[in-house]
Amino acid sequence: MTDILLTAPMPAVERGLESRFTLHRLWQAENREAFLAQVGPRIAGLAISSSGGRLDDTLLAHLPALQIVSSFGVGYDHVDLPAVTARRLVVTNTPGVLTEEVADLTLGLLLTTLRQIPAAERHVRAGLWPKGGFPLSPSLRGRKVGILGLGDIGLATARRLEAFGVEIAYHTRTPRSVPYAWYESPVALAGAVDVLIVLTPGGDATRHLVDTAVLTALGPDGVLINVARGSVVDTQALIEALTNGTILSAGLDVFEDEPRVPQALIDMPHVVLLPHIGSASMVTRAAMGQLVVDNLVSWFDTGKPLTPIAETRGFLA
């Protein structure tokens, strides 16, 4: 049977692969170097997720027979692209199957942040309601929402926002054929809106795209929602902007050094913090796991993966 290495626990993936492949679980190895020295030369397929660490030369050097990398999740900033492309490896991700789920979470996080729902809930649980009502909150009414990164999830989010009756604008490097106003830069977009939703990929190209200039342009009534990657937002600049009143509030599903969250953010009661749960429903995680499995099966059966990332499509016949 073909040997597959998994870098992190992925129950649905393991269940889907185990009858067909020989699985090797890297996180269970007591001595990682010895384990890789033993099984590495046999590994033909790799199943990874961002929680399994970065895929770079250090691991790839142990896997000379590797043909394909099947990654759990649509974002693949945990993959060192020069390292995989130098080896002409095919990499797949899981686009599409999580789009609607993540857009749902994005809308939930936006409303939760604006209407202060977690703080209001804490008010009831703490028995404070009989002593006084909860303070009035900011609102989505009358706002203009900017989406930084209008791809699959950005578009699904925009479709939902249309039903909420708010004006929508966006920035991408290439304008799209959509009925929303395009702005030529993140700072221009932030200056035109009072909610900024970040939905770009992570990685070097988008690192700290949201910086002090963007937050200043967003303004004192502005709300930042980040469901993309922590690296897209300059955390120190954000903490300063929230502390100084440069912006009003933020809802964050992702963090630069997750799962560690800066204490300064934890100490801000009006900021909503989630543990990277954009796609984390049972049904969607199962669909993502199935696509990781299907990519490997399709590759080893037909030589064609189902959802290769753009950067490695050129390696396919």
Binding site for ligand 8YV (CB under 6 A): 49-51, 72-75, 98, 276, 278-279
Active-site entry in 14, 258, 270, 311: 258
Per partner kind, with CB cut-offs from 5 to 8 A, the member of ligand 8YV, ligand NAP, none near residue 227 is ligand NAP
Give the separation between CA 91 and CA 181, rounded to whole angstroms: 34
Which residue number has the CB closest to ligand 8YV? 73
Active-site entry in 276, 285, 311, 313: 276
Per partner kind, with CB cut-offs from 5 to 8 A, the member of ligand NAP, ligand 8YV, none near residue 202 is ligand NAP
Tell me if residue 276 is catalytic: yes
Residue 67 or 172 having the CB closest to ligand NAP: 172
**Sites of contact with ligand NAP (CB under 6 A):** 74-75, 95, 98-99, 102, 149-154, 171-174, 199-202, 205-206, 227-229, 253-254, 276, 278-279
Tell me if residue 171 is catalytic: no
Tell me if residue 313 is catalytic: no
Active-site entry in 229, 240, 260, 270: 229
Q: How far is the CB of 153 from ligand 8YV (least distance, A)?
A: 9
- Helix pair angle (117-125, 99-114), 10° resolution: 60
Give the separation between CA 11 and CA 13, rounded to whole angstroms: 5
Give the separation between CA 47 and CA 231, rounded to whole angstroms: 24
Q: How far is the CB of 310 from ligand NAP (least distance, A)?
A: 9
Q: How far is the CB of 187 from ligand 8YV (least distance, A)?
A: 25
CB-facing half-sphere around the CA of 160: CA atoms within 13 A = 19
Q: How far is the CB of 311 from ligand NAP (least distance, A)?
A: 12
> What is the residue whose two structure tokens read 């290439």?
174
Separation in Å, CA 86 to CA 28, 58, 79, 116, 311 = 29, 14, 13, 48, 11
Give the separation between CA 12 and CA 235, rounded to whole angstroms: 33
Per partner kind, with CB cut-offs from 5 to 8 A, the member of ligand 8YV, ligand NAP, none near residue 92 is none
Q: How far is the CB of 296 from ligand 8YV (least distance, A)?
A: 17
Give the separation between CA 113 and CA 139, rounded to whole angstroms: 9
Give the closest residue to 71 by CA, choosing from 106, 38, 47. Answer: 47
The two three-digit tokens of residue 65, written as one number: 């027979």
User: Which residues are tagged catalytic?
Assistant: 229, 258, 276
